[in-house]
């Protein structure tokens, strides 16, 4: 079994969707990634920072999911990163209402000693120079480095982002962000341009329209599971990344063929995430529910066709 190091925000979120509104609840990229990766029984550790206002119960929750939280720094006199967003009626797009970096602004990540040789590194959404600093601390060359990012960092730290992108194997990014990063509307052209920036594998997430995996001239597509009701899409991208990374860490096979399965696992876990507000659904998700949905996924996408 491989070790997985997860870097990203551990946060407070306030979310507004057409279905309702939350006060400050548990959120953050590393939180969603960790909850998703916990389904694979890998040795996982999170690297992040929170303030003195962050409830211990939230850290306990991550620990009960077997996520090592020793790399989550607590700045007693500081405040936890806060993000607030409002979804449009289509639930596929949202406006960011607030991003308060707080303790994140001066964060120097420290990778726990035991995880400096982790085979899989999941660089979740965070300042790209923090993502770089984590790579600098790894003592062994990792089998796979995956990076997730968002438009916020393209707007305010593009040079740092381009530097870290050069050092990674897989990028997971949504369609809008891929277009912003490359200036290309076609996702095929955008993926090619992102390949040229460094990553050998490019995953473009398209919300309710699924995800594309590009590798050289190969493309794989997985739809999103059609759901009756999407309650809150927050964290779906991170949950996808956590499922993707967790599966690859568990299997230790980083071939393109196996990455297709990782995309399916990521999509399956993300389909649960959106069913309730925030992390609620992921906190109580059982492995048997995941298994059932994987079967549904298989039925949805499998067909026999005779080609002559
Ligand atoms: P997603 O819906 O997958 O894009 O992820 C939403 C999560 O990302 C929320 O829980 C936020 O706390 C977190 N988040 C929002 N903005 C940022 C940012 N600029 N950097 C890092 N994490 C963020």
Tokens of 99: 């991003």
Q: Tell which atom from ligand 1 comes closest to the C-alpha of 32.
A: 10
Total-model pTM:
0.96
Q: Which of 93-97, 211-215, 227-231 has the highest mean pLDDT?
A: 211-215
CA 188 to centroid of ligand 1, rounded, Å? 25
Cβ(62)–Cβ(74) under 8 Å?
no
Residue 125 in contact with ligand 1 by CB distance below 6 A = yes
pLDDT class of 91 with cuts at 50, 70, 90: confident
pLDDT class of 111 with cuts at 50, 70, 90: very high
Residue 11 in contact with ligand 1 by CB distance below 6 A = yes
pLDDT at residue number 151: 92
Average confidence score pLDDT of the chain = 96
Q: Is the pLDDT assigned to residue 301 strictly greater than 90?
A: no
pLDDT at residue number 2: 87
- State percent of the chain over pLDDT 90: 91
CA 259 to centroid of ligand 1, rounded, Å? 24
CA 271 to centroid of ligand 1, rounded, Å? 17
Of residues 304 and 196, more confidently modeled: 196
CA distance 146 to 138: 14
CA distance 244 to 170: 11
Q: Tell which atom from ligand 1 comes closest to the C-alpha of 153.
A: 19
Each residue of 146-194: pLDDT tens digit? 999 999 999 999 999 999 999 999 999 999 999 999 999 999 999 999 9
Q: Is the pLDDT assigned to residue 247 strictly greater than 90?
A: yes
pLDDT at residue number 308: 79
Q: Tell which atom from ligand 1 comes closest to the C-alpha of 239.
A: 3
Q: Is the pLDDT assigned to residue 1 strictly greater than 80?
A: no
pLDDT at residue number 140: 86
Tokens of 221: 């597509």
Of residues 305 and 72, more confidently modeled: 72
Q: Tell which atom from ligand 1 comes closest to the C-alpha of 152.
A: 19
Q: Is the pLDDT assigned to residue 303 strictly greater than 90?
A: no
pLDDT class of 211 with cuts at 50, 70, 90: very high
Q: Is the pLDDT assigned to residue 302 strictly greater than 90?
A: no
Nearest CA to ligand 1 atom 15: 83
Nearest CA to ligand 1 atom 12: 28
CA distance 62 to 65: 5
Residue 104 in contact with ligand 1 by CB distance below 6 A = no
Q: Give, for ligand 1, the residue of 6, 9, 12, 155 to mutate: max count of ligand atoms closer than 8 Å to Cβ.
A: 9
Q: Is the pLDDT assigned to residue 35 strictly greater than 90?
A: yes
pLDDT (average), residues 281-293: 97
Residue 238 in contact with ligand 1 by CB distance below 6 A = yes
Residue 236 in contact with ligand 1 by CB distance below 6 A = yes
Residues ≥6 apart with Cβ < 8 Å to 242: 6, 32, 33, 34, 35, 36, 37, 122, 266, 269
pLDDT class of 71 with cuts at 50, 70, 90: very high
pLDDT (average), residues 233-259: 97
Q: Is the pLDDT assigned to residue 118 strictly greater than 90?
A: yes
Topology at the third CATH level for domain 3-301: 3.40.1190
Tokens of 227: 């759901």
CA geometry: angle 164, 112, 105, nearest 5 deg = 50
CA distance 29 to 9: 5
Instruction: Name the residue ranges covered by the structural domains of the chain.
Output: 3-301
Q: Tell which atom from ligand 1 comes closest to the C-alpha of 278.
A: 10
CA distance 140 to 123: 16
């Amino acid at each position: 079994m491989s070790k997985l190091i997860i870097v990203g925000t551990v946060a407070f979120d306030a979310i507004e969707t057409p279905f309702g509104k939350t006060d400050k609840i548990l959120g953050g990229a590393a939180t969603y990634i960790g909850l998703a990766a916990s389904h694979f029984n890998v040795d996982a550790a999170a690297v992040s920072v929170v303030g003195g206002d962050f409830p211990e119960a939230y850290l306990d929750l991550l620990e009960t999911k077997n996520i090592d939280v020793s790399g989550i720094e607590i700045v007693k006199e500081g405040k936890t990163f806060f993000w607030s967003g409002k979804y449009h009626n289509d639930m596929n797009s949202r406006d960011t209402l607030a991003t308060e970096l707080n303790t994140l602004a001066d964060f120097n990540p420290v990778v726990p000693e035991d995880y400096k040789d982790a085979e899989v590194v999941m660089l979740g959404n965070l300042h790209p120079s923090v993502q770089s600093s984590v790579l600098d601390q790894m003592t062994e060359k990792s089998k796979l480095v995956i990076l997730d990012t968002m438009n916020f960092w393209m707007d305010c730290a593009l040079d740092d982002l381009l530097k870290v992108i050069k050092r990674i194997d897989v990028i997971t990014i949504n369609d809008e962000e891929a277009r912003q990063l490359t200036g290309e509307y076609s996702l095929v052209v955008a993926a090619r341009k992102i390949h040229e920036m460094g990553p050998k594998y490019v995953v473009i997430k398209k919300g309710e329209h699924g995800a594309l995996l590009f590798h050289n001239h190969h493309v794989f597509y997985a739809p999103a599971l059609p759901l009756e009701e999407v309650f809150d899409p927050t964290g779906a991208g991170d949950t996808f990344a956590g499922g993707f990374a967790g599966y690859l860490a568990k299997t230790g096979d980083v071939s393109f063929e196996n990455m297709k399965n990782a995309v399916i696992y990521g999509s399956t876990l993300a389909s649960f995430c959106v069913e309730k507000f925030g992390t609620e659904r992921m906190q109580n998700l059982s492995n048997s529910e995941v298994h059932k949905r994987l079967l549904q996924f298989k039925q949805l996408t499998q067909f026999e066709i005779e080609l002559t």
